[in-house]
A and B are shown apart, each in its own frame.
Chain A
């Protein structure tokens, strides 16, 4: 039976297998000669249509050996069973390390070998993302805000820069910070980031040692979290969560949460201990191209606890809504 099937197949496939000596050169443009030749061909006009051999011809066909232990070999292919997994023989290690050295010389091959290694995995790249660059429109308090980052490096280690800040139109920023971080991938989705943060505003300036975790959490939440230890010994923390919900391929609504926390009061900066401020944002952006997406949005910000008290003392509001118009862009 095992041998019968191929024979039957060969017989039924005769038309396309017809042993008619073909030379590419023998057939020129469409001519009547070609048609005549075809007419003489006993197989001409045969219906070549046939069933594909979707069934294996092997006698083990369809067998699905299952063994108790889960392994990569479950759901086995039909045919000759896999021999045991084994390493190469000692003979496979014989001879020169690099075969081409004997022909072209080790000197010629060495730089090429270095290139081929680098060109297959050692990619360095970078990007600049202006996540938020927006006008903040509130009750008589119109202003601006930005949040941007850039990185450069390989798959694992990267230099990562971040900056954010805000202010009122016509005035210098109320807050402005920049972070320079070394970023190291610690799992498929998250990077551990360590470095420094310097706040140019508010005054007095602060410099912080920074340790953070940035990445992609389950269900596609973008997470950016960090601890900051200031040069005055104050410990604060920030947690940002973003989620992109596509409405269409180009229209995307992005909810965002930002929480700021502090381990102690920092009165000169208006920071109270515990949960100091929280911000909820919702931005609706349109991707003209992925690299350029204007948006409109709203955000609600609120100060808590002592932070709220500090603000009241200053005569500032402790919570409020703002409308946003901005641009998200990257390259």
Chain B
């Protein structure tokens, strides 16, 4: 089965979309509300085949009754679904009609470095009014996505989904599939976001602690006076969960705001595969479908042993495929709550268009705790003899203990490679492995939430060698000045690359000294997240590192070239949380 783009079928698809649903062509067919799902090539063709054409252009985008400026591909937001087949070759002809440089990075695709699409690292970028042709063999299957790596175009709508069908029979059985592209839209120019954050790090946070709230003592204010004093003493805000919030964002599902209520169809009894892609710029989402458990079958495009949960947190650039099995003829609400719970994207899964289900209220804003501050180790190290039945109590005990001699910026806790300067406002005293934690605010939601420790690769990890060395990378920042970096140095300061010998097996330990969750992405490779399931570690391209926590991954540096390595919160990357990873020797270098 091959997909071929035929002009006639494209036109027919467009006409079908408009006639059937009365919506504009601002959305690709699969993202139309009332979409019956990903369809055969003849009626709703995704972009498929050996030659694919994409045009980057300035477009208007309308959501919530308001129209703003977007940068799109083929005129739609999200961009068209690119559907490929493992084992094929693909040529992607990308025309840039903008007056500025652009690019496309194929997120999660294993490609030669010169096809990876990061200007200044893998290639020169796509100049204004020119075309660049990407060409590479498709060596994998699963759910991925593509987006600009130039400027802040991703914030303006420059992203779309990729689905690659496996060459062998798919181990996941399903009757129907939907792509769910999550994103965040603002009518502000992205540079304006940066200016605001530089002027006031907490600018978009409208859920801070306040005196009247404290007197009402709602769940968002549950913090003792001494704890408040401690946070104040550190000049840290325990409510700083997301840098950019619903104060400016409309959260989108397949380009639809909550009011537009994107609806995906199913028939009772079907197994429906939902391919979640977090294409958001600055938003980590909590995903749930009240009334429907979700069986996670794939993470970052890689199959995992099925695990059923009620909710999961998805960091920027991560993808999760889940199977749902609605047995009744009723609608379900798909809730994608922003991590700070200032807002949500909402969609409906229903047997028929027009059906809806109740939309749950936003839950209380989470509050950072001692563990998020990097004192998680207090549970173990500082209180070896204490075995509290309550997780929280142990942390609190540790916290009180720590407050006496607290040094929140103790340089002795980091290797010399970390430059502890203006850009580092905190150092985690005792960072702990948090792969067993479900994500901020999800510790106590009363149902099952996915953690990284729940993930096991479906097939054994390809490289069984133990890692031979550890590379420690600290995630550092200054919340007040909105500075973000690795090891205390912004990329703009001319930092050394992180170097690997080709095919070496190394362990990378990411230590989060900040109080925010960072989704860290390495280009060109899958790495194995060290989560206790030796030999069956989940293979990922992007991993969330919880505040005050750490994540280790084992990497086989098998992709020669230069690769970007960065936080996928776009504005953190833009602020400096970015490195080049080199893998040498290249082909033909000998050795």
Contacts and interface: CB of A to CB of B under 8 A. Distances in A.
Interface of A: 6, 9-10, 13, 15-25, 27-30, 34-35, 37-38, 41, 43-45, 48-58, 60-61, 64, 66, 70-80, 82-86, 88-89, 91-96, 98-100, 102-104, 108-109, 111-123, 125-127, 155-156, 185-189, 216, 218-220, 245-249, 251, 290, 330
- Kindly name the residue among A27, A72, A73, A251 whose own CB sees the greatest number of chain B CB atoms within 10 A: A72
11 contacts: A16-B295, A21-B169, A28-B43, A75-B381, A88-B500, A115-B101, A120-B492, A155-B423, A249-B207, A249-B208, A290-B203
Given A92-B500, A96-B586, A75 B235 contact: no
A16 B314 CA distance: 21
B270 A34 contact: yes
B173 A117 contact: no
A155 B470 contact: no
B501 interface: yes
B327 A104 contact: no
A131 B361 CA distance: 37
B119 interface: yes
A100 B471 contact: no
Interface of B is mostly: loop
A330 B198 CA distance: 13
A48 B118 CA distance: 41
Interface stretch (B277-285, B303-311, B333-341): B303-311
Nearest to B176: A27
B301 to A, nearest CB: 15
Contacts of B147: none
Interface stretch (B55-63, B70-78, B570-578): B570-578
A56 B38 contact: no
B311 to A, nearest CB: 11
A83 B384 CA distance: 25
Contact of B584 (A93, A125, A249): A93
Contacts of B327: 45
A75 B40 contact: no
Contacts of A126: 195
Contacts, number: 368
Interface stretch (B91-99, B254-262, B425-433): B425-433
Given A75-B431, A108-B124, A109-B120, A57 B532 contact: yes
B206 A249 contact: yes
B267 A115 contact: no
B483 interface: yes
Nearest to B509: A82
A85 B511 CA distance: 14
B542 interface: no
B53 interface: no
A285 B470 CA distance: 52
A120 B266 contact: no
B589 A94 contact: yes
A79 B531 CA distance: 7
Given A6-B536, A121-B575, A218-B235, A92 B499 contact: yes
Interface residues of B, number: 151
Given A27-B37, A100-B113, A187-B422, 5 more contacts: A19-B169, A22-B170, A25-B41, A49-B295, A55-B532
B165 interface: yes
A113 B580 CA distance: 11
A34 B511 CA distance: 48
B354 interface: no
B231 to A, nearest CB: 9
A43 B424 CA distance: 54
A44 B268 CA distance: 12
Q: What 7 A-B pairs are tightest by C-beta distance, nearest first? A: A56-B532, A116-B120, A121-B576, A121-B490, A121-B492, A75-B432, A77-B433
B468 A83 contact: yes
Nearest to B381: A74
A21 B175 CA distance: 11
A91 B502 CA distance: 8
Interface string B165-188: 100011111111100000000000
Interface of A is mostly: loop
B527 to A, nearest CB: 14
Contacts of B51: none
A64 to B, nearest CB: 5
B404 interface: no
B121 A116 contact: yes
Contacts of A248: 210, 212-213
A34 B194 contact: no
Given A82-B552, A103-B114, A188-B425, A54 B172 contact: no
Contacts of B212: 247-248, 251
Interface string B206-239: 1111111100000000000000010011110000
A230 to B, nearest CB: 32
Given A22-B169, A80-B530, A216 B235 contact: yes
Nearest to A57: B533
B406 to A, nearest CB: 11
Interface string B480-493: 11010100001111
B469 A85 contact: yes
B562 A91 contact: no
Contacts of B428: 72
B290 interface: no
A78 B530 CA distance: 8
B305 A246 contact: no
Contacts of B469: 83-86
Nearest to A191: B422
B199 to A, nearest CB: 4
B470 A125 contact: no
Contact of B456 (A57, A108, A127, A216): A57
Given A28-B40, A85-B469, A91-B591, A189 B232 contact: no
Contacts of B480: 188-189, 216
Contacts of A119: 151, 492, 574
- Kindly name the residue among B101, B234, B235 whose own CB sees the greatest number of chain A CB atoms within 10 A: B235
B217 to A, nearest CB: 15
A121 B489 CA distance: 9
Interface stretch (B5-13, B372-380, B386-394): B372-380
- Kindly name the residue among A24, A27, A64 whose own CB sees the greatest number of chain B CB atoms within 10 A: A24
B532 A89 contact: no
Contact of A100 (B114, B414, B415): B114
- Kindly name the residue among A23, A86, A123 whose own CB sees the greatest number of chain B CB atoms within 10 A: A123
A58 B210 contact: no
Contacts of B377: 74-75
B500 A80 contact: no
B1 interface: yes
A50 B501 contact: no
B173 A43 contact: yes
Given A92-B584, A121-B492, A53 B578 contact: no
Nearest to A116: B120
A187 B200 CA distance: 17
Contacts of A6: 305, 456, 536
B494 interface: yes
Interface stretch (B21-29, B445-453, B515-523): B445-453
Contact of A53 (B43, B169, B456, B566): B456
Contacts of B531: 56, 77-79
Given A22-B174, A85-B415, A91-B585, A50 B424 contact: no
Contacts of A251: 212
B497 to A, nearest CB: 9
B466 A80 contact: yes
Contact of B454 (A28, A53, A115, A116): A53
B137 interface: no
A125 B207 contact: no
Nearest to A31: B267
A246 B211 contact: yes
A75 B210 contact: no
A274 to B, nearest CB: 32
B86 interface: no
A92 B380 contact: no
Nearest to A102: B586
